[in-house]
Every structure is written in C-alpha cells, then in structure tokens.
Chains A and B, each alone.
Chain A
Amino acid sequence: MQTDFTAAQLRDPAIREAADILGTCVHYGFCTNTCPTYVLSRDENESPRGRIDLIREMLESEAPPKAQTVAHLDSCLSCLSCMTTCAAKVDYAHLIDRARVHVERRHRRPLAERALRALLGFVLPRPRLFQVALALGRLGRPIQGLLPSRLRPVLAMIPERTQGRILAPQVFEAEGERRARVALLAGCAQQVLDGNINTATIRLLTRHGCEVVVAAGAGCCGSLTLHMGREEEAMAAAAANVRSWMRERRGEGLDAVIVNASGCGTTVKDYGHLLARTELAGEAREVAGIARDVTEFIAGIGLRPAAPERPRLRVTYHDACSMQHGQRVTRPPRDLLRAAGFEVVDVPEKHFCCGSAGTYNLLQPATAETLGGRKAGHIDSTAPDVVAAGNIGCLTQLRRYVGAPMAHTVELLDWATGGPLPPALAGVALQSRPAPQPEEAPAAAAAPAPNDDAGFW
C-alpha cells in the first residue's frame, strides 16, 4: 500500500513504524474471511483491510480522527485472526495498537464513554479495587435500570459467584528436586474472578519440580490499558514487571516467566516492542524471551503421568485468540490434555473470537453477545463433558453462554496429576468415555524394488 506521510511525520518513530507496516499490506483480502466483524457485517470498514486503510488516512491526516473511523477501530476485537491468515504477514497487532493510541490522544469521546473507559482502565488492573467494584456492582444490579446505559452491560457481565484469591509476593517451593525457578504473573482481574487458576498453576508447577515466585512489584501486564490506547499506563505496568522479574533473575535466578492468561501472555512476550524506546529495552527483550504460557512450559519439561482413577472425560478445547493467533500456541494444551488422559476435541470455526477480547465485551456488548452465542453453539455441538480454555477473559465470557462446565486448562492438568477436582466440576456427574483401542501393526514385509509401470505392487 502506498502511503503519503510527510517527512516531519516520519521523524516520529511510532509513525515511521506504522508507515512501514502499512506499506506491507497488498490487499489480498484473506483477512476479511476470518475477521469476525467483517463476517458478521460484510462491511469493508469492519475488516482488517478496511481498517488498515482507515488507519492510513487517520495517521496521515493532521486533523482529529473522524468519529466514524473511531467507531470502526473500536469495533476491532484485536483477535489477530487476520494475522494468522495474512499472506503478506502484515503486522496488524502493532498497527491497531498504534491507531488506538492515536485515537486516545487525538479524539474526544462523549462523556459517558470517556468515564467508562477511565473507570475500566483504572479499576481492572487493581485487584483489590476490582474486588470492591464487583461487590458494588452486584449491589447495583437491582437498580441497574436507573444507571447510565453504558454501565448496564458491565453489570450484566459480573459473574454470580467469584472465587477470588489475591496472592501476596511469596515463594512456593518445588516438590522434590528443584528443576527450575519460575516467576508467575499473578495478574490482576483473573485473581479476583477466579483465584483457583493461580492456585492450580502453582500446584502443577511445584509438583513438577519448579520453585514458583510471585515477585514483589509485579502486577497487571498492561494489556487491558494497551488495547484501550492508554499506552503510558501500559508501559508503566510493563516496566514495573520487567524491573521486578529482572531483580529475581539477577538474584536467585529465573528460568521462565509463567503466564496463565493468554491475553497477558501475548503482551508480556511483546514487552521488547512495548518498551523498545525506553531505557529498559534490553531487559524487556530478555523478559519477553523467557515468557511462556504455562502449557508451553509444562510441555517443555514433561507432564507427570496422570492419576489412573479419574474418569476419561471429553474436553472441548477452546483456543483463545491470544493463544492461537497472538502466541501461536496451539499444540501444547491439546498434547498435555491428551497425555493427561482426556479425550480432546476441537471447536468448529475455532479461528473465530468468542467476543471476550479484553474489555471488548464491556465496551461493545452487542457484537460480543453475537460472537459469544455463536461460539457457544459450536462448543455445545461437540457435546463436551467440560470445556477448557487458557484465558480468563474467554472463560468469563463463555460461562454466560455455554451449557457445559468450563475450566482453565491448568485446573484439569492439576487434577490429572494429583490435584483436587476443578471447582467447575464439583457436583457434576462424570461418566468416563471409552478409551481408544490401539491398532496392532502387521510385521513389516520385505520390500522388492519396483520394475516397471505395470507391475508396481
């Protein structure tokens, strides 16, 4: 794609980078077929290709972004399905992030919109504040009709029950001989929404010989604010994490930074880019280089054999977009679940987003609901005993629509290697599925060489 930036604009390294990315788009259009908002609307401006054009126009212009452009950019899920399918390998992730920063700085949203975004950006990354907000939200439900319309979908998203557990900085010792020392990104909203994910992760890791550190000073990864265009806040969160984990790495050592929320994992693995133009650039790259999704890490060190008395359940595995498109981690969760003795099935149309997408389901509730229902229909069609996913956002979103119990992948792996039953399965009648029968191979015969066309048998 040809661009028309001025020399002055290109002196800004962020614009320079955006211009380079824009130049790689050649409009093949493969992205459109896998973009959820395009498939739903068939509106070119609701496709990655259309948005790329809008971003070019917006960044080239000196004028404030047009409201229509902002609406089309806001409706992008950042699911990155387009990046998986793009033949030209356009770096859409960094382009849309840059566009969001530009919008945040140059566009004045309506008051209610600004207030909601500010509220989410401030509350969600702070677990204790979020815990209070959840309680207030539950109290506010009976009077939600009296609240501003933008707040109602937010209240509707609050789960009936949450099992929060906010972890203080501490060290969990390895069981048996220590094989690795890892930091766990304890996260922010996840700790409040489902504390058992971290607990199960820690059990799984320590059981596999890992010392697990919840490092002082580490907190939100910055993902939520980054995707809202609040770059400075995201960079501050990232910088705090980099400093914290590098202290550990330089101290007792750190073999990996473990992330069990794939949305966060995508961001942490990209810290090198986020902090590229800061004094922490080198350390950020180092942290990004040792960041691993928990399933990637366990697959690397090998899963301990599963406990035999557990029923063989059918697990429908949902690929979070950040896992399959952001991090391209698709095999380890499936391989581990199979190794743990589960029957693993895929979700039809698995490349499609479930509508969670960070704060998307709070800010774009109508599209999120359509996508949630669509995904749930596909999941239910596989008749699962339990649904597994590696991202708290997807779990929270899909629990509203899916009939079967849902658990984080690590909860199932923890259970399969000696941990307790995942809370989602408590009270559920579990029936074992038949195990596959291995084929017996015939003995290899001697192989005569072929002679001619007619006789190759």
Chain B
Amino acid sequence: MAEAFFNEVAATIGAEWINRSEETLRRYGENTMPGGDRRPLGVVYPGSTAEVQAIVRAANRHGVALYPVSTGNNIGLGSRSAVHAGQVVLDLGRRMNRILEIDETLAFAVVEPGVSYQAMYDELVRRGDKFMVDVTSGPPQGGMLGNALDKGAGYGPYFDHFGFSCGMEVVLGNGEVLRTGDGALQGSELPNWHVSKYSFGPILDGLFAQSNFGIVTRMGIWLLPRPPAVRSFHFTYPDDDDLAEIVDICRALKLSNFVPTLLRVANDVYLCGSEHPSPDYSPGDRAPISEAGRRALREKDGLGAWTVSGAFYGPSMAALEPQIERVRAAFGKSGKATYIPHEEALGFHALQVAINACSGVPGVGELGLLKWRPGGGNLWFLPGTPMVGSIANECQRISRRIYAEHGMDYMIMNVCSARFARGLHVITFDRENPDENARANACYEALARAYAERGIFVGRAPLDYHALHMGQAMPAFRDSCTAIKAALDPAGVIAPGRYGIG
C-alpha cells in the first residue's frame, strides 16, 4: 500500500523529492513534547500546487495519511512531528517557498507555505524597507502561512496573523483546488482575491485555520507601511499581584488604540529566561524556582515581577515624545511602576526582543527560553484571559499553583489586546528525565482541566493534546468538525487526528 503510494508519487514528481532515509525519518519524528517521538513513513517535497494535488490523490488511492508542514518550526507545539507514527510528512517548505507577489500599492504579499518571516523581511528590506511584516518573537525561519493557519500572532497592529491574511488557495482532501473569497470567481484575473475578505457566499477561509480539511498552498498576507520611527516604552512592577493594575491600564490603552502595538506583559522568569538558564535548577529537581531565586533573578537583571512593553509609531522619535509622556502618566499613577526608556531598553537583551517584535524585525532573542532547563522538553499552554485585572490575577493564581504542584517554573507572557490577552505559558522541562517528563505532562493536563473548569479554552495547543482539547468542546462543535471533515476529505488522508479531528 505504502510502496505503491511512493511509487506513484515518484513517477509523478520525481523520486528525488521523496526521502525515506533512516536519519530523515528519525529527525522528522522528533518533537519536544512529553509523549515521545513519532517516526513518519517518509517525507515528500512537492514543488507546486499541482504536485500537492497529485500527492493527495495518490494518498486517496492508496489509503496513506499525509501530514503537511510548512517550515516545521512549531517548537513546543509539535515541531514537524506527525500526529501518529506512520504518516507521510508533506514538507512544503523545501520547494514551495516562493514569494509570489508583493503589491506595493495595496500593501499585501502572496506567499507559498515555505516563506519564512526572515525571507519576507529580507525581501521587504531589499525593496527599500517601505513595508513591515508582522513577526512573532519565535524563530525567524518560522513560516508565515503556517503561523497564520495555526492562529499564531505577533505584536504590531497586524498582530492577528489569520485576521490579516486574505484569500487562499487550498488543495482539499479529494484533490480538488479551492480558492476562497474573491478568488472563488471563475477566471484567472482576480484583482480582489487578496484584498477583499467579504466576497459573495460563505467565508470559507476560517475552515482552514486549525483544521485538517485541506492543504493551503497560497495565501495573501497584508503588510503595514513601515513607520519612520518606532519608539518603545517599558514599565516594570515589583509584585505578582500588580498584574491586575497592568491589565486594567493596558485595556484602556488598547480599547481606543492609543498604543498601536499589543502590550507584552512578561513575568520575571520569562524575561530572565530568555537571557540565561535557570540558576536554581539541578537535574532531577522536583521543586520550582524558589522565591529567593526569583528575587535574585530580578535583582541581577534589574526587573520586577512583571514588565510591560509596547511601542508607538510615528514620523520621528521626537514626534513620539507626547505619546510617551501620556503612557508614562498612565502607568505612573499608582507609583508602583518603574519606567525603562527606549534608549535604555535597547541595551537590554530581553527588552530588545520586545523592540524587535514591535518593529517587525525577526530575531532569535527569545529562543533562549528553551534552555531555561536542560533536556529539550518544551510545551506551550495557550489559554487567555479577558482584559479584566481581577480575572487576570485569578488566572495567575491558578497557573502558579499548578506549576508549583508539578515542580515547574511559572513562565508566562500575557500578550494584551483590547479585550483579550493570550497567556503564553511556557513549560520547559528535562525530557530525558522520565519523572520530570511525566510531571510536565501532568502539569499541562492539570492546567487544561483547571482553565476549562473556569470556562477558558485554549487558543493553540501542542499536538499531543489536540484530542484532549477537542474532547473539552461541546458535542455539536465536535460533530460539526467531523461532518466537515467527511465532506472535504472523505478518505481522511490529511493529517487525521490533528486538532482532534478525523
């Protein structure tokens, strides 16, 4: 069955675009989650939408499950590892990595799945740096399309990467190609495809965010004209419970969009962890970082329990001075915050990460979080909180308790928009230590349960927990997903099990 599939694919796209070497299968199965690695059956590298169609049709004929990845940098959420061992990884990043178009009048780009933030940034700079792509603070080689489809986010005005995408080309599970939005119009000249989100008929784009109904091979992504000046601001607060005050101020700043960027509210361990490994941890430790350890971290780096960062855009640094003064007045009211100006933050690694993120500059600065503890284990738990200070503090207490119960270090950044903050909880653990590995898994599951009991769902999730989270959804939601899967991918060849579907 599998051999017949690979033979057909080889005959269609060329045997050189199939890799089944021992090393490749081992590496593509690796991930950072507690559930272990999952070895795929093979890796296929399509070069075009037509080749993706041919592969999907072959998978239908031979009953082979495909697992598409764009650039495979989804560290902490699954890497390139398939849902189940024995699936065939469809690596779109190797050959389908072209920037198909950049429209400098209407400020959008059209990309294939393998286009990374770094590649887009480089191309925009080459064209005179007139536009800014909204970046994550994750790996610069991460894929824009994959991030948008997994509901990833950045920090600028176009932070909502799926929301600021427009117009897709999708290979469905039956091998047919679907164009969404204005692209659905028959014909080849489609000037509104990547600029209009509200075309005739249902908005189908959303079906392909966090789903396994099709393989997106092309997407429009909107770009922001690059402001001449980006001036950041940072305030650090001494106490854990200060989070409530910060969240309430951030809400005010964002509801009117006075601050154009999102506000990054990071705790001490998150910021310090991007700079250096845990000074408190020894292999086998079953306790979280001590209060004394946290104090030492804060004193060493000159930060408090929480630090909030954001930025203004304008024609010059001097022109932004009034906005800086107003935001200082906002955070200065209670007398608890210490202001860190832009110029000072530039020399501070962890805050430089925030400046880059708000400036649309990809960087590796935050990857240091992954070595907070040794052993390569990493999970991201991504619930959120309404932008109400008291609820944010309630969530903080839930998370702190569960992290501590499992001997993990509470490491979080709340990314605050007007009404909602996504809480990027990082669980870094020694995956080579069976006990710690099990505790990391239990920690994640306990967090997932506790937040669900509080009525809070996750926004994204590591692959190991997709089934768990889908199980938390109401039956009608699950049934709808199952029905759509059956309609668009009747043989269930696209990533069965991903997002708990199929």
Tell me, yes or no, whether B94 is within 8 Å of chain A by CB.
yes
Stretch at the interface among B178-186, B200-208, B325-333: B325-333
A26 to B431 alpha-carbon distance, docked (Å): 9
Tell me, yes or no, whether A9 is within 8 Å of chain B by CB.
no
Contact partner of B79 (CB less than 8 A), chosen from A29, A351, A441, is A29
Tell me, yes or no, whether B321 is within 8 Å of chain A by CB.
yes
Contact A453 B255 (CB under 8 A): yes
Interface size on B, residues (CB 8 A): 60
Contact partner of A33 (CB less than 8 A), chosen from B71, B328, B431, is B71
A270 to B468 alpha-carbon distance, docked (Å): 50
Tell me, yes or no, whether B375 is within 8 Å of chain A by CB.
yes
Residue of A nearest to B229 (CB): A439
Contact A85 B252, CB 8 Å, known A346-B122, A447-B322, A449-B330 = no
Tell me, yes or no, whether A429 is within 8 Å of chain B by CB.
no
Contact A45 B23, CB 8 Å, known A87-B367, A447-B322 = yes
Contact partner of A450 (CB less than 8 A), chosen from B24, B30, B252, is B252
Contact A445 B322 (CB under 8 A): yes
Residues of A within 8 A of B249 (CB): 450
A238 to B139 alpha-carbon distance, docked (Å): 37
Tell me, yes or no, whether B73 is within 8 Å of chain A by CB.
yes
Residue of A nearest to B97 (CB): A39
Residues of B within 8 A of A87 (CB): 75, 364, 367-371
Residues of A within 8 A of B94 (CB): 42
Residues of A within 8 A of B21 (CB): 43-44
Tell me, yes or no, whether A84 is within 8 Å of chain B by CB.
yes
Tell me, yes or no, whether A381 is within 8 Å of chain B by CB.
yes
Contact A85 B258 (CB under 8 A): no
Contact A50 B141 (CB under 8 A): no
Chain B residues 43-99 with CB under 8 Å of chain A are 45, 71-73, 75, 79-80, 91, 94
Quote the shortest CB–CB distance from A309 to chain B (angstroms). 27
A30 to B74 alpha-carbon distance, docked (Å): 10
Contact partner of A50 (CB less than 8 A), chosen from B27, B228, B376, is B27
Residue of A nearest to B431 (CB): A26
Contact B370 A88 (CB under 8 A): yes
Residues of A within 8 A of B73 (CB): 30, 33
Contact B139 A381 (CB under 8 A): no
Chain A residues 28-61 with CB under 8 Å of chain B are 28-30, 33-34, 42-45, 49-50, 53
Contact B326 A50 (CB under 8 A): no
Quote the shortest CB–CB distance from A45 to chain B (angstroms). 6
Contact A44 B23, CB 8 Å, known A450-B329, A455-B256 = yes
A34 to B73 alpha-carbon distance, docked (Å): 12
Residues of A within 8 A of B116 (CB): 33
| Consensus secondary structure, chain A interface | loop
A345 to B125 alpha-carbon distance, docked (Å): 8
| Chain A 326-354 interface mask (CB, 8 Å, partner B; 1/0) | 00000000000000000001101111000
Tell me, yes or no, whether B192 is within 8 Å of chain A by CB.
no
Tell me, yes or no, whether A16 is within 8 Å of chain B by CB.
no
Contact A28 B27, CB 8 Å, known A85-B364, A449-B329 = no
A382 to B21 alpha-carbon distance, docked (Å): 39
Contact partner of A348 (CB less than 8 A), chosen from B122, B315, B322, is B122
Contact A441 B316 (CB under 8 A): yes
Quote the shortest CB–CB distance from B495 to chain A (angstroms). 20
A346 to B326 alpha-carbon distance, docked (Å): 36
Quote the shortest CB–CB distance from B315 to chain A (angstroms). 5
Residues of A within 8 A of B391 (CB): none
Residue of B nearest to A452 (CB): B252
A188 to B387 alpha-carbon distance, docked (Å): 63
Tell me, yes or no, whether A24 is within 8 Å of chain B by CB.
yes
Tell me, yes or no, whether A454 is within 8 Å of chain B by CB.
yes
Residues of B within 8 A of A (CB): 19, 21, 23-24, 26-27, 30, 32, 45, 71-73, 75, 79-80, 91, 94, 116, 118-119, 122-123, 125-126, 139-141, 228-229, 249, 251-253, 255-256, 258, 315-319, 321-322, 325-326, 328-330, 333, 364, 367-371, 374-376, 431-432
Residues of A within 8 A of B (CB): 2, 24, 26-30, 33-34, 42-45, 49-50, 53, 84-89, 345-346, 348-351, 378, 381-382, 439-442, 444-445, 447-450, 452-457
22 A–B contacts from the bound complex (CB under 8 Å): A26-B32, A26-B375, A26-B431, A27-B30, A28-B79, A28-B370, A30-B73, A30-B75, A49-B27, A85-B140, A87-B371, A88-B370, A88-B371, A345-B125, A345-B126, A351-B118, A441-B316, A441-B321, A447-B326, A450-B252, A454-B256, A456-B330
10 additional contacts, CB 8 Å, given A88-B371, A439-B315, A456-B330?
A: A26-B374, A28-B79, A87-B367, A87-B371, A345-B126, A348-B122, A449-B329, A450-B252, A453-B255, A455-B256
